[in-house]
Amino acid sequence: MSRWYMDISIVNNNSKLLRSIDDEVKCITLISENEYLIICTNGKIFCVDDKSSTEIGIEESAIGTILFNGKYYIASPTKLYLLENKQLKEQLSFSNQCSVIAASNDKIFVGLDGKIVKVYNEEFKEEKEFDIPEIVDIKCNGNTAVIITKKGTEIISAISYESLSPIYFSGGRMKVYGIPNSCCITPDGDYVLVGTENGKITSLVKDDTQFTFYAHCNRETNTTYKVSSINYYKENVIISTGMDGDINAWNLKDKDIISSVQTKEEIICGSIMNGTFAYATKGKDKYNIFTLEIEQLLNEVKKVPNHEKKTNRSRRKNDAIEEDKPKNMKEKKEKMVNRRLKKKTREVPEVEENFSNEIDSSSDNDEEDIRKKPSKHRSSPVKAKSGLFVFIISFEPQELINFKKAIYKHELFGITTKIEKANVIVNKHGQRTAEVLDAILRNIPIVEEKWVLESHKKMAVEPFEPYLMKDKFPALSHTTFDKSLLQNKTVGIYGGLKIRDYIIKKWIEQIGGKFATRAKYSDILLVGKSMFASDATRRTEGFAVKEEWLYDCISEMKFINPKSYLVDGVLKKEKENELTLEKPVAEQVKASSSHKSRSSHHTHLGEKKEKQNSAIIETKEEKGVSSIVAMEEENKK
C-alpha cells in the first residue's frame, strides 16, 4: 500500500488466478473475450483461455506486443511478427536491435539500439526517423507518441511529427523525481503519466502545470518501490502497479488516490482490456497471472462515505474500543470534542492588514504542518464574493503567507495560480516577470498591494486606475495593446532566452510581427546570453539585439530604437551607422531589411552574369587553341 497517503480505502483482493508458468513474463494482452496473450522474455508465447492453453514461440527473445489496425503483432529484437490463428508470420525486419515498440492509429513507433526511433506506416514502410538517446519506453494513443528517456520525455504528433512538448510543459520544465521507467497517455491526450524507479508518477497536463503522485512510496519506513505499469481505465481513472505488490486506483481530476488492492507478491506488469485488469506477479518459483474486475474494485469504494475512509485495521480497532465503552462515556467524549472546537474557533487570531515582514510563529507552525502532511493536491478554499481572482507576484515568503491569510479572511477576492484565469495581477515589488508581460498582452490590470488593502477596508472593489503600476509598466496607460507594433517585421531567436521559445513566438505574433524560422532572415534577431561569445552580428542580415529589447517594447508598448541593445560583433558599428535619427526607427528597420534583400538579389544576378561571361571567354579560348594546333599539324605534313 502507498503509505504516503493516510486515508486509503483498502479493497479485498478478489483476483482470480489464470495461470502459473516457469518462464519470466514480459507482458500480458487480452486478444479476445476470455483469451489472453502471455509474452515471455525467452520468446515463448502462450494463448490462454479458461479451458485451454496453446504455446507458440520465436527463436529470439520477445520485446512486446502491439494492436495495429485490428491485428496483434509481436516484436523480437530483429523482426515483427503477425499473430493470426495462433500462428506467427514474419511481417517486418529491423536493421538495428529493437528494444521497445508501440502503435498509434496508423503508425508504428520502434525504438532501436536505445537511441533511434523509426516510424512505419500502414504499409510497413519507413516514414520518419528520430535521434533520441537513452530510450526507455514508448506509448501511443490515437495520434500522439510519448517517448521517455533516462533524461526526460519527448511528446510527438503521430500525424505531423511535430514536437508537442511546449503544450505539456507550459507549467515549466518537467520535474521527474527519479529515473523514468514506464509511461501512459490518456486517449484524449490531456494527461501524460511518467512512472519512476522510486515509486512516483508525474502527470503532465495539457496546457497546465504538472503534479506528482507518491504512488508506491512508504513514508514510515522511507522506502520506495519501482512503478511497474500505468494503465488508463476511463473517466480520469488510472491503475498503477508497483514492486510493492499493490494495485492503486487514482483520479487524475481530483489528483488523489481512490483505493488500493494489496497482493502478496511483486507485480511485474499489467494491462487493461474491456474492464478487466490482467497482471503478472513474481512468486518464489513461478510467475503467476491474475485477472481483476476494475468495476468491482471501484463500486466497493463508492459504498464507503468519504469521512469513513479508513484502513480495515484501524476500523476494526475503533469498533472494538467503542463496544467496550459505556454510553455515558461516549456522550462525555462528544461534549468534550464540541467544547474544544468552539474554543478553537473563538481563539482564531486576527490577521494584521499591514503584511509586515515580522516572523509570525503561528504561521510557521502552519507551514510546518503543511509540510508534514501528505500532498492531497487540494485547491485553495477561497470564496470570491466579488467574483475577481488575483494572481500574486514578487512577495517575500512571509509577506505572501500574511497576504493570503488576509484574502482568506475577508473572502472578497479569490486566488489563482493560472494567469489565464486571473482578473488582476497584484505585484508588490514591481518585478517584471514572464507573467507580467503576458498579463499586459492579455489586458489584465497590474496593481499595487494597496489596492487589495483599500478594498478590504471598504469591503468593496476599488477601481483599478489609481493603483495601476504605470511607472513600472507604461503599457498600462494604453487601454489596449498595439497589434501592429512589429508590423512587417520578422523577429528570430539565436540561443536560449530567459523565456521559452514558444511563448516568445506567441508574443511576437500578438504584436503584429512574424517569427523567423532561420536567424539569417530576421529583421531583428533576439540573442540569448549563452550566445554572446559567438558573433551573432554575422548570423543575420538584420539587427542582432539582446532579448531585453522585446521585453522593453512590450512593457512600454512602443517600438524602441534597437541601437542601445545591439550585441557585440564585427558588424556592430555598421549596424549602429544604419540606425540614424533622420526618420523613424521602425521605417529604417523595414527599409534596411528590404535593401538587404534587393542588394543580395542584384549581387546574385551580377555573379550569374560574370559566370556566363567567363564561360563564353573560356569556350572562345578553347576554340582558338584548337585551330592553332590544327595549323601546326598541317605545316608538319
DSSP 235-269: TTEEEEEETTSEEEEEETTTTEEEEEEE-SSEEEE
- 472 & 459 share domain: yes
Model confidence at 382: pLDDT above 60: no
- Mean pLDDT within 459-482: 88
How many angstroms separate the CA atoms of 563 and 567, rounded?
9
Phi then psi dihedrals of residue 382, to 5 deg: -105, 130
* CA–centroid distance for 377 within its chain: 18
* CA–centroid distance for 440 within its chain: 25
Give the pLDDT of residue 488: 87
Neighbouring residues of 362: CB distance < 8 A, sequence distance ≥ 6 = 349
Model confidence at 365: pLDDT above 90: no
The boundaries of the domain holding residue 320 are 313-346
- 289 & 425 share domain: no
Q: Are 491 and 512 in contact (CB under 8 A)?
A: no
- 130 & 84 share domain: yes
DSSP 75-140: E-SSEEEEEETTEEEEEEE-SS-EEEEEE-SS-EEEEETTTEEEEE-TTS-EEEEEE-SSEEEEEE
Give the pLDDT of residue 230: 95
How many angstroms separate the CA atoms of 2 and 213, rounded?
10
The pTM of the whole model exceeds 0.75? no
- 323 & 433 share domain: no
Is 632 part of any domain? Answer: no
How many angstroms separate the CA atoms of 394 and 436, rounded?
11
- 177 & 263 share domain: yes
Comparing CA positions, the residue from 406, 557, 543 lying closest to residue 478 is 557
Cα distances (angstroms) measured from residue 314 to each of 216, 321, 569: 21, 11, 72
CATH of the domain at 223: 2.130.10.10
Looking at residue 499, the DSSP 8-state letter turns out to be S
Give the pLDDT of residue 208: 72
Q: Calculate the average pLDDT of the chain.
A: 78
Give the pLDDT of residue 350: 37
Give the pLDDT of residue 229: 94
Give the pLDDT of residue 397: 85
- 187 & 118 share domain: yes
Q: What is the pLDDT of residues 430-442, one digit of tens each?
A: 999 999 999 999 9
Q: Are 81 and 93 in contact (CB under 8 A)?
A: no
Give the pLDDT of residue 309: 44
Of 209-213, 380-384, 489-493, least confident by mean pLDDT is 380-384
- Mean pLDDT within 284-300: 85
Is 189 part of any domain? Answer: yes
Q: Provide the domain count of the chain.
A: 3
Domain end residue (candidates: 477, 492, 523): 477
Neighbouring residues of 37: CB distance < 8 A, sequence distance ≥ 6 = 28, 29, 30, 31, 45, 46, 47, 48, 65, 72, 83
Which band of pLDDT confidence, cut at 50, 70 and 90, is reported for residue 372? Answer: very low
Model confidence at 345: pLDDT above 50: no
Cα-trace Rg, the chain: 34
How many angstroms separate the CA atoms of 235 and 221, rounded?
33
Give the pLDDT of residue 552: 93
- 300 & 447 share domain: no
Give the pLDDT of residue 97: 92
Classify strands 64-68 and 71-75 as parallel, antiparallel or unpaired. antiparallel
How many angstroms separate the CA atoms of 141 and 399, rounded?
45
Looking at residue 541, the DSSP 8-state letter turns out to be S
The SS3 of residue 340 is helix
Model confidence at 11: pLDDT above 80: yes
Which band of pLDDT confidence, cut at 50, 70 and 90, is reported for residue 355? Answer: very low
State the CB neighbour count (10 A cutoff) for residue 219: 14
- 420 & 324 share domain: no
- 30 & 71 share domain: yes
Phi then psi dihedrals of residue 625, to 5 deg: -65, -40
- Mean pLDDT within 238-243: 93
- 286 & 331 share domain: no
Give the pLDDT of residue 387: 86
How many angstroms separate the CA atoms of 488 and 109, rounded?
41
Of 199-203, 233-237, 281-285, 355-359, least confident by mean pLDDT is 355-359
Comparing CA positions, the residue from 393, 411, 395 lying closest to residue 461 is 411
515 - beta bridge partners?
Answer: 491
C-alpha cell at 454: 483599500
Residue with cell 496473450: 37
Give the pLDDT of residue 358: 33
Which band of pLDDT confidence, cut at 50, 70 and 90, is reported for residue 219? Answer: confident
Q: What is the pLDDT of residues 110-122, one digit of tens each?
A: 999 989 999 999 9
- Counting Cα atoms < 13 Å in the Cβ hemisphere of 620 gives 6
